[in-house]
C-alpha cells in the first residue's frame, strides 16, 4: 500500500475490497470489528487524496438484491468511524455506482451496495465472473485488496479484478498474513490450538495439518460430539456427523502416534432442546461419557473449562477458532468464557494468542473481553483456517501477479 500511495494516488479512483461482513440484528450492527479493522487502509488512501471506492459483501445472498443484506447500515457506521461522509451507492456497478463514483472529490469515500447482489461475483463460470470484474474495474484506476476474510474466495471482487488493475495489498491483509506466518513458521512452543464450532467437516483440513505441528489440540463446541462418538460414547441428541466418526477415530490414533495431546471435555452442559425464546433454558451438567439419550450438548462443562484453561497455561502460542458452546445464551456461555479467559492469560504472560473467525471474535466481544486482551483477533474465519491448512489463497496469489501498482 505504501508503494501505491508513494507513487501518488491523489485524484485517482482506488477500488478497495474490504470484508464488511458484520453480524446484524435487523439493521443494528452487533459487532463492528470488521468495519473498524478496514478503516486504516481506507483512511490512508483518503488522506493521500485518493477517491476511495469500497466494495464488500454481506451474508450470502443468491446473486440478486435482498433488502436484509443491504450494506446501507454499514455505510453509516463506516462514516462514523472514519469521521467523514461515506457516499452509498444503491447498486454495485449500475447507474447509482457510476454517479456516486463520478461525484467523489479527492479524499472522498464511497461504499458500493453488496457485491453479492450480482450473480457474476460468485459465479463458477470464469467468463461470467470476469465480465462482472471488468465492470467493477471500470469504476477505478487501481485496486487494493484488504478483505482478509475473503482472500480464500476466487470471486470477482477478490480475484479477477486484481488481474485487470494495478493492485496493492492493504494494511489489514498484510498484518493478518504476518500473524498467520508466526503461527505456521516456527511457532513458539508449546503451541496449542483450540477448535470449536458446530461442524467437524469444516475443520478436517486444519486438524489434518495441525496434527504434525501443534503440541496440544483442544476440542469443544458442537464438533466434539463426533469425537466423543469416535471414542465409543453415546451423545444423546447432540450434533453428530456420523460420516466423520471414522475420520475422527483416525485423528485420535494419529495424534497418539505423533505425540500430540488431544484434550476433549470430560463434562458437558446439556438441555433437552436447543435454546429458543419460548422456554427458559434448563441446563444440566453430565459426564461426557454418559450423555443421556434425551440430552443435547450445548457447552463444555465446568470441569472441562478448568481442564482446558490448565492445558493452555504456559502455552507460548495459541490459536483458537470456534466457540465452545451456544455462547449467545448465557446458560451455555461459560465454556467459551473459560477459553477466552485462558487466552488473555497467555497474552499477559507474553505469549501469542490469536482468536480466529467471525463467531469467535463476536463471542469474545459479546462476553465483554477487550480486543487488546488478545495478541490478535483475526477478521478471517475460513480464510485463517485455510491458511493454517496450507492451502493456496487465490486472493493472495493474484496479488503476486505481474500487474503491480504504478
Among residues 316, 382, 391, 403, which one is catalytic? Answer: 382
Identify which of residues 283 and 381 has a Cβ nearer to ligand 3PG in the complex: 381
Q: How far apart are CA 396 and CA 173, in angstroms?
A: 9
Provide CB contacts within 8 A for 191, sequence distance 6+. Answer: 213, 214, 215, 216, 315, 316, 317, 318
Binding site, annotated residues for ATP = 203, 297, 328, 357-360
Q: How far apart are CA 321 and CA 324, in angstroms?
A: 9
CB of 116 to ligand 3PG, least distance (A): 8
C-beta atoms surrounding 242 within 10 Å:
8
Residue 358 interacting with ligand 3PG (CB under 6 A) = yes
Q: Is 120 a catalytic residue?
A: no
Binding site, annotated residues = 19-21, 34, 57-60, 116, 153, 203, 297, 328, 357-360
Q: How far apart are CA 232 and CA 225, in angstroms?
A: 11
CA dist 212 → 99, 177, 202, 207, 226 (Å): 53, 21, 19, 9, 21
Provide CB contacts within 8 A for 221, sequence distance 6+. Answer: 195, 196, 197, 198, 322, 323, 324, 325
Cell numbers 447507474: residue: 95
Lookup: cell for 15: 477500488
Yes or no: say if 340 and 305 are a contact pair by the CB < 8 Å rule: no
Q: Applying CB under 6 A, which of residues 29, 54, 110, 150 lies at the interface with ligand 3PG?
A: 150
Provide CB contacts within 8 A for 140, sequence distance 6+. Answer: 13, 14, 15, 53, 101, 165
x/- map, 47-66, ligand 3PG, by CB under 6 A: -------------x------
The footprint of ligand 3PG on this chain (CB under 6 A) covers a number of residues equal to 9
Lookup: cell for 246: 471414522
Residues 97-126 that bind ligand 3PG (CB under 6 A): none
Q: Is 34 a catalytic residue?
A: yes
CB of 156 to ligand 3PG, least distance (A): 13
Length of the chain: 406
Identify which of residues 305 and 356 has a Cβ nearer to ligand 3PG in the complex: 356
Identify which of residues 60 and 68 has a Cβ nearer to ligand 3PG in the complex: 60
Residue 377 interacting with ligand 3PG (CB under 6 A) = no
Q: How far apart are CA 366 and CA 190, in angstroms?
A: 29
CB of 267 to ligand 3PG, least distance (A): 31
Among residues 147, 197, 351, 358, which one is catalytic? Answer: 358
CB of 216 to ligand 3PG, least distance (A): 26
What phi and psi values does residue 322 have, to the nearest 5 degrees?
Answer: 100, 125
Q: Applying CB under 6 A, which of residues 49, 382, 391, 403 lies at the interface with ligand 3PG?
A: 382
Cell numbers 445464551: residue: 329
Q: Is 403 a catalytic residue?
A: no
Binding site, annotated residues for substrate = 19-21, 34, 57-60, 116, 153
Identify which of residues 41 and 238 has a Cβ nearer to ligand 3PG in the complex: 41
Residue 129 interacting with ligand 3PG (CB under 6 A) = no
Q: Is 26 a catalytic residue?
A: no
x/- map, 171-210, ligand 3PG, by CB under 6 A: ----------------------------------------
Yes or no: say if 291 and 271 are a contact pair by the CB < 8 Å rule: no
Q: How far is CA 393 from the centre of its chain?
A: 14
Identify which of residues 120 and 265 has a Cβ nearer to ligand 3PG in the complex: 120
Lookup: cell for 256: 497418539
Identify which of residues 120 and 149 has a Cβ nearer to ligand 3PG in the complex: 149
Task: Tell me the window of 146-154, 273-281, 298-306, 339-347 that interacts with ligand 3PG (CB under 6 A).
Answer: 146-154
Lookup: cell for 297: 450438548
What phi and psi values does residue 351 have, to the nearest 5 degrees?
Answer: -85, 175
Residues 296-315 that bind ligand 3PG (CB under 6 A): none
Cell numbers 505425540: residue: 259
Residue numbers annotated as active site = 34, 199, 358, 382
Chain contacts with ligand 3PG (rule: CB under 6 A): 19, 21, 60, 149-150, 153, 358, 381-382
Amino acid at each position: 500500500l505504501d508503494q501505491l500511495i508513494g507513487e501518488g494516488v491523489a485524484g485517482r479512483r482506488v477500488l478497495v475490497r474490504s470484508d464488511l461482513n458484520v453480524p446484524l440484528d435487523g439493521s443494528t450492527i452487533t459487532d463492528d470489528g470488521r468495519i473498524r479493522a478496514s478503516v486504516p487502509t481506507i483512511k490512508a488512501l483518503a488522506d493521500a487524496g485518493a477517491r476511495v471506492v469500497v466494495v464488500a459483501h454481506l451474508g450470502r445472498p443468491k446473486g440478486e438484491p435482498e433488502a436484509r443484506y443491504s450494506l446501507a447500515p454499514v455505510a453509516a457506521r463506516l462514516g462514523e468511524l472514519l469521521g467523514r461522509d461515506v457516499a452509498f451507492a444503491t447498486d454495485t456497478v449500475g447507474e447509482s455506482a457510476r454517479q456516486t463514483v463520478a461525484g467523489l472529490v479527492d479524499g472522498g469515500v464511497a461504499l458500493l451496495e453488496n457485491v453479492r447482489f450480482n450473480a457474476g461475483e460468485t459465479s463458477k463460470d470464469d467468463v461470467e465472473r470476469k465480465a462482472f470484474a471488468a465492470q467493477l474495474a471500470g469504476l477505478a484506476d487501481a485496486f487494493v485488496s484488504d478483505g482478509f476474510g475473503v482472500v480464500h474466495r476466487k470471486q470477482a471482487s477478490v480475484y479477477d479484478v486484481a488481474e485487470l488493475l494495478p493492485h496493492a495489498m492493504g494494511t489489514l491483509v498484510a498484518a493478518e498474513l504476518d500473524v498467520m506466518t508466526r503461527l505456521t513458521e516456527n511457532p513458539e512452543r508449546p503451541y496449542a490450538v483450540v477448535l470449536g464450532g458446530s461442524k467437524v467437516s469444516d475443520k478436517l483440513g486444519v486438524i489434518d495439518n495441525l496434527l504434525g505441528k501443534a503440541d496440544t489440540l483442544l476440542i469443544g463446541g458442537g464438533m466434539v460430539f463426533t469425537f466423543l462418538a469416535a471414542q465409543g460414547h453415546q451423545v444423546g441428541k447432540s450434533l453428530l456427523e456420523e460420516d466423520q466418526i471414522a475420520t475422527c477415530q483416525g485423528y485420535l490414533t494419529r495424534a497418539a502416534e505423533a505425540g500430540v495431546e488431544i484434550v476433549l471435555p470430560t463434562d458437558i452442559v446439556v438441555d433437552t432442546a436447543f435454546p429458543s425464546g419460548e422456554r427458559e433454558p434448563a441446563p444440566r451438567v453430565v459426564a461426557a461419557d454418559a450423555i443421556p439419550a434425551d440430552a443435547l450438548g450445548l457447552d463444555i462443562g465446568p470441569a472441562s473449562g478448568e481442564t482446558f484453561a490448565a492445558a493452555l497455561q504456559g502455552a507460548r502460542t495459541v490459536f483458537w477458532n470456534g466457540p465452545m458452546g451456544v455462547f449467545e445464551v448465557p446458560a451455555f456461555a461459560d465454556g467459551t468464557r473459560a477459553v477466552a479467559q485462558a487466552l488473555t492469560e497467555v497474552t499477559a504472560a507474553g505469549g501469542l494468542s490469536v482468536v480466529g473467525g467471525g463467531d469467535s471474535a463476536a463471542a469474545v466481544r459479546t462476553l465483554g473481553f477487550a480486543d487488546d486482551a488478545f495478541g490478535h483477533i483475526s477478521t478471517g474465519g475460513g480464510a485463517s483456517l485455510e491458511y493454517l491448512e496450507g492451502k493456496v489463497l487465490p486472493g493472495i496469489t493474484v496479488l503476486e501477479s505481474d500487474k503491480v501498482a504504478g
